[in-house]
Homo-oligomer: A and B are copies of this chain.
């Protein structure tokens, strides 16, 4: 079988980003031959160092290059030496918005053998997928400051929600729900307070839901949802929610499913008009960077999602199984370095 070639952009980023990305690429290389894919990699030195050197976060020219790639793997961005928000907004969110990653896909799944902070909860109890809107809501950057530094200062932030934006992400979530055994979709919002945006989400879920009679639909306020993540995670199968609520609940999701070291995500543009971007949910963790302490598992699971996205489902399953097998044996092993974990999973993948 002639191997298909995929153009892969790699953005290792800051802190532990480069370390975990190295292990993700190691696993990708190990699975490569079996997937029938070869990956042509281009690495981009975006992040704190480049910002210090040139003031650039995601320059237009690089963005144009990224548009020509098939898919992107990102490590993490952010460094204490850069003011909060500069890299997040200028690089990460800019990529999500410009490449129209309107689905931020975040599985929340407890693998067998993984320790959850919840008592009396096992892998069957935590198996959901959060479909977070990725291109609007409170993340637009719309807002401003008036009378800065005076006692009369006002700072605003605007959540912008469009029928266009909500409909496409809700439709995606229904497709996901229809393909899963439980066929349940929960809208998470705060429609009793954010009445304008909440009503739009509710109405569109109802409209699109009419096309998916096999999917049962549920609603949960975001505050109650966070509680149920902890007390009854079994409630959830597919969750659809806005950009900010999705950000928040997927961190609790990570916490209950064994920690941020395992949480993977995809910033997906389902239309294919621009490359999708896969990344661990965790940040750059500068406190442990360069010490080989970071857990590369979240990045490796993100690589599995990337493989699925480019149509290599068999290879994706293979990586997932390797991760799952590795996790189920971890409890018995001592501490392993970032590279040791990557090696172990790569070995299982190729073996």
| Contacting residues, chain B, for A95 (C-beta < 8 A) | none
Cα–Cα, bound, A100→B349 (Å)? 61
Flag whether A113 is at the interface (Cβ < 8 A): no
Sample of 4 further A-B pairs with CB below 8 A, known A157-B159, A230-B255: A143-B194, A143-B197, A226-B252, A252-B252
A331 located at the interface, meaning its Cβ lies under 8 Å from any Cβ of chain B in the complex: no
B251 touches A226 (CB 8 A): yes
Contact A195 B226 (CB under 8 A): no
Determine which of B119, B145, B154, B194 lies in contact with A119 in the assembled complex, contact meaning CB atoms within 8 Å.
B119
User: CA separation between A155 and B250, bound complex, in Å?
Assistant: 24
Distance of A230 from chain B, by nearest CB (Å): 4
Contact A196 to B143, CB < 8 A, known contacts A163-B150, A230-B117, A251-B226: yes
Q: Is the CB of B158 within 8 A of A157?
A: yes
Q: Which of A151-210 contact B (CB under 8 A)?
A: 151-164, 167, 190-200, 202
Give the A interface residue count (CB, 8 A): 68
Is A94 part of the binding interface, using a Cβ–Cβ cutoff of 8 Å?
Answer: no
Q: What are the residues of chain B within 8 A of A33 when measuring CB–CB?
A: none
Are B156 and A159 in contact, with the CB atoms below 8 A?
Answer: yes
* CB <8 Å contact, B195 and A89: yes
Interface CB pairs A-B, < 8 A, 9: A88-B192, A138-B138, A143-B196, A152-B162, A155-B161, A155-B199, A157-B159, A157-B161, A227-B252
Residues of B within 8 A of A85 (CB): 191-193, 195, 198
Q: How often does this chain occur in the complex, in copies?
A: 2
A residues bordering B, Cβ < 8 Å? 78, 84-85, 88-89, 93, 116-121, 138-139, 141, 143-145, 147, 150-164, 167, 190-200, 202, 222-224, 226-231, 244, 247-252, 254-256, 259-260
CB atoms of B157 and A88 under 8 A apart: no
A238 to chain B, nearest CB (A): 20
Let me know if A193 and B89 touch, CB within 8 A: yes
> What residues on B are CB-neighbors of A120 within 8 Å?
117
Contact present for B197 and A156 (CB under 8 Å): yes
Chain B residues near A197: list those with CB within 8 A: 143, 155-157
B-side contacts of A227, CB under 8 Å: 251-252, 254-255, 260
B196 and A157 within 8 A (CB): yes
Q: For the complex, give the distance between the alpha carbons of A189 and B117 in Å.
A: 24
| A170 → B minimal CB distance (Å) | 13
Closest-CB distance, A101 to chain B (whole angstroms): 15
Q: How far is the CA of A82 from the CA of B20 in the complex (A)?
A: 51
**Nearest-neighbor residue (CB-CB) of A224 within chain B:** B251
